[in-house]
Structure 1
């Protein structure tokens, strides 16, 4: 949420920063609480159109300001900004082909495969095939969006000749460029930033409320069988009881959304002390997204995994991710990690999620095997085949068939 508010502080100086933070946060929390996932998805559609159109406009007018496409391309080429095949295997290399492909995959999978926001969207589809189609349709859209953003970066580098204007953080370079050179696009660009922010925050609020309600409130209720604690429900029919309970859960969900919205507002005020957006994002995904991906991967690919191994693996992965990302932040000076810092702090931010995810998987496997040795009952627990990767089920079926044939023969 901090980025559009920085834009306001640069472009609309007569509006205090705290007013925009509170106003935007309350609006986002309000429509998310009232409309739920349906409101989030439909607002995402319109916000995407604003975001996409704004970036296209900034790219076109920005390229003109920078001297045209040929000037932008040649300047970046002469300064080695168009080297797409950096094959250096050193993990401390900021960006290489390996970190973009493999590290990028580990950064993207937590968002698009196992995050609560993604899963909620998949569940809104009418069928499994529709959910799968949405993923495939999303891929070219992401490629186009990332290409546009990268081209804007080349435009900025060519315009400022590699020497960015004096400012507080690197996050403000594009904001500064639009404010000073593209007056006709200032309003549209502010709408673009707010669209991206509101979309992300609304999705997060809805996901947090859903997780809290289902995994905490309903789990506690089922464990304690608290459905009988409602006097009106005791004497009502089953159908009426279910309706009242649904209404009760709906109200709770809205309250959770508003509560998390207030917490998000508080975090927005302290975000400026956490470095650039890239640093903040990788701190979060390195310490949370990576271990989450690791737990899902462990459960899907390793039949012998158990809950104890998954929990300990998750904690180990989160510790490693948090340790690396925060250590890098502490040792960063002028946007670069100091050369004398511990080598693990100097690895590229593209590898944070990879390190924490692999740690989760490895520690999870080791711990699961130890638990199976110590607790014999863990060896005989059956695993639902639907929870395993399809190819593993086919592979195991093939092995069983071969064993049966060998015994018969």
Structure 2
């Protein structure tokens, strides 16, 4: 197997070309085209962006290596239940386009969390900004780690060195070119991602005997499952957690992420922003669905010799790179193309995150610290420095992520811990005009404490082996290589407290519910806001009918008396 899973010179050339193209785009927008020396130019592309590149950039921002590596591994190990999360994408898109976007497009805020100050005061704004900073600094290392792990497998280069090289390219073009470089790099990288997914799926399907054989093997292996309607919230994934739970998770990202809103408001018209939301839903659904199909093809390939159990790999997320090189290794450059696509997904997510994080951190923490507001040029320079600093921090944190579990589950867990609280605060502000600043403050703090406790408590039980989710059947009966098979007994999960057995896919929902419930209770005891005192521009259109109607003011009209004949 060793010869089958290593890059040759063609793969290295394909991969290097992709990195060079990304770097050149940064040089073009930063040094040749210019326009990145103002806040609006650096963060919003001068509000001259168009729908197609913005839409592709939005998709590639959320389709990282977590999706391209994690979803196939998820379907291979646990079945297709996760694919029903695509239904949640469209629900979230509809809500975002018609009930959330009208508020923020009208406000045109550089920092999304400025909304919190307008609605609840400076303290709540600081809480949400801190949450966002923590969330991205824990999310980006996961994004980097996925492709670094894949490249380590096929090149033998240490994960840390791969992370450094890939991240340096990303930091370079993001720092120089701002949003324009990020968006146009994302566009090229997105096309490469689509091409690589389709090619690998096609070649892999032909290798295992065609579509009919894939479906037959998947049914025999109990991989096809879409409607597990068991309401038990401790089951890792059911229809309810993949639809309802993921609806809350994606809402936090599609609707209330600065990375998304920054792109929506960079478009010249509100209509174009709505269209970009629709394309975002289509693009994310495409990648989740086709990545899931690759997972089924992988199962057809490895149904008789699971590579994780038999010791060919050490982590579930390494299954896809092994499959790609084994299935496509005979076609020169193809495996390099696919792994370049995986790295592109990581670069796009990382660049978008760093660009947005720098802008948000500057607006919320640095600019208020200056007695005299910095010039546009100085502000743009400070944001570029922040991009570099945050990028270095993220690279250093990869070693921490390396010691945790499967990347899809890590992402859902860490995302739920922070995204749920942020989502709850926005929902409290947009949908509940009675909520006051004290309610938002206490609700946010309560959610942060509860979700932090829940996340780390669950991690402790998993790290000790006391809590393991059962997988679908895996076999090693057809393996031809030598290995030592040790059958592992599943622990009795009933000894683990129910709260720590809660599916991680519900974390965002639980976190947001805590904010809303605590926030409304505290607001009640400290005095609800008067509806007439709340600025309607800060509320979703869906609650406008609840607001008191202002009396119409009539101006006096002079009476004209006609002379009688």
Normalising by structure 1, we get a TM-score of 0.87
What's the secondary structure of 2:533's corresponding residue? coil
2:387 paired with 1:387? no
2:187 paired with 1:45? yes
1:160 corresponds to: 302
Q: Is residue 420–residue 512 contact of structure 2 (8 Å, CA) maintained in 1?
A: yes
Return the offset for 1:372.
2.3
2:206 corresponds to: 64
Return the offset for 1:323.
2.5
2:265 corresponds to: 123
For residues 273-314 of structure 1, what are the alpha-carbon distances to aligned partners after superposition, in whole Å with 9 as ceiling and x for unaligned?
122212320222111111111110000111121222212212
**Which runs of no fewer than 5 residues in structure 2 stay unpaired?**
1-143, 471-490, 552-565
For residues 337-395 of structure 1, what are the alpha-carbon distances to aligned partners after superposition, in whole Å with 9 as ceiling and x for unaligned?
8512111121222111111111111111112223328xxxx669821101112121123
**Which is bigger in relative contact order (C-alpha 8 A, separation at least 6)?**
2
2:277 corresponds to: 135
Q: Is residue 249–residue 420 contact of structure 2 (8 Å, CA) maintained in 1?
A: yes
Return the offset for 1:75.
1.5
Separation in 2 of the partners of 1:381 and 1:395?
Answer: 10
Q: 1:295 aligns with which of 396, 407, 425?
A: 425
Structure 1 residues 335 and 126: alpha-carbon distance in aligned structure 2, compared to 1, 3 A threshold: farther
Structure 1 residues 379 and 162: alpha-carbon distance in aligned structure 2, compared to 1, 3 A threshold: farther
2:344 corresponds to: 195
> Which range is displaced more, 155-164 or 91-100?
155-164
Structure 1 residues 94 and 163: alpha-carbon distance in aligned structure 2, compared to 1, 3 A threshold: farther
> Which range is displaced more, 310-319 or 184-193?
310-319
Residues paired across the two proteins, number: 376
1:208 corresponds to: 357
Q: Is residue 283–residue 326 contact of structure 1 (8 Å, CA) maintained in 2?
A: no
Q: 2:323 aligns with which of 177, 181, 186?
A: 177
Q: Is residue 283–residue 321 contact of structure 1 (8 Å, CA) maintained in 2?
A: no
Identify the structure with the greater helix proportion. Answer: 1
> Which range is displaced more, 184-193 or 291-300?
184-193
Structure 1 residues 179 and 150: alpha-carbon distance in aligned structure 2, compared to 1, 3 A threshold: same
Separation in 2 of the partners of 1:82 and 1:129?
Answer: 39
Give every structure 1 segment of 4 or more consecutive aligned residues whose post-TM-superposition deviation is greater than 6 Å: none
For residues 200-244 of structure 1, what are the alpha-carbon distances to aligned partners after superposition, in whole Å with 9 as ceiling and x for unaligned?
1111101110011111122233xxx324xxxxxxxxxxxxxxxx7
Q: Is residue 40–residue 199 contact of structure 1 (8 Å, CA) maintained in 2?
A: yes
Structure 1 residues 78 and 397: alpha-carbon distance in aligned structure 2, compared to 1, 3 A threshold: farther
Normalising by structure 2, we get a TM-score of 0.63
2:380 paired with 1:250? yes
2:372 paired with 1:219? no
Pairs within 5 Å for 1:329-340: 329-332=459-462, 333=465, 336=469, 338=491, 339=493, 340=495
> Which range is displaced more, 195-204 or 161-170?
161-170
What's the secondary structure of 1:273's corresponding residue? coil
Separation in 1 of the partners of 2:189 and 2:442?
Answer: 39
> Which range is displaced more, 63-72 or 291-300?
63-72
1:305 corresponds to: 435
2:100 corresponds to: none
1:343 corresponds to: 498
**Which runs of no fewer than 5 residues in structure 1 stay unpaired?**
228-243, 402-409
What's the secondary structure of 2:375's corresponding residue? helix
Q: 1:364 aligns with which of 508, 511, 519?
A: 519
Q: Is residue 321–residue 353 contact of structure 1 (8 Å, CA) maintained in 2?
A: no
> Which range is displaced more, 127-136 or 157-166?
157-166
1:323 corresponds to: 453
Q: Is residue 5–residue 17 contact of structure 1 (8 Å, CA) maintained in 2?
A: yes
Separation in 2 of the partners of 1:303 and 1:380?
Answer: 6
Q: Is residue 328–residue 335 contact of structure 2 (8 Å, CA) maintained in 1?
A: yes
For residues 52-92 of structure 1, what are the alpha-carbon distances to aligned partners after superposition, in whole Å with 9 as ceiling and x for unaligned?
11111111111122222111101111233222211111112
2:219 corresponds to: 77
1:275 corresponds to: 405
2:161 paired with 1:12? no
What's the secondary structure of 2:402's corresponding residue? helix
2:239 paired with 1:88? no
> Which range is displaced more, 176-185 or 352-361?
176-185
Separation in 1 of the partners of 2:504 and 2:170?
Answer: 30
Q: Is residue 283–residue 322 contact of structure 1 (8 Å, CA) maintained in 2?
A: no
Separation in 2 of the partners of 1:83 and 1:279?
Answer: 19
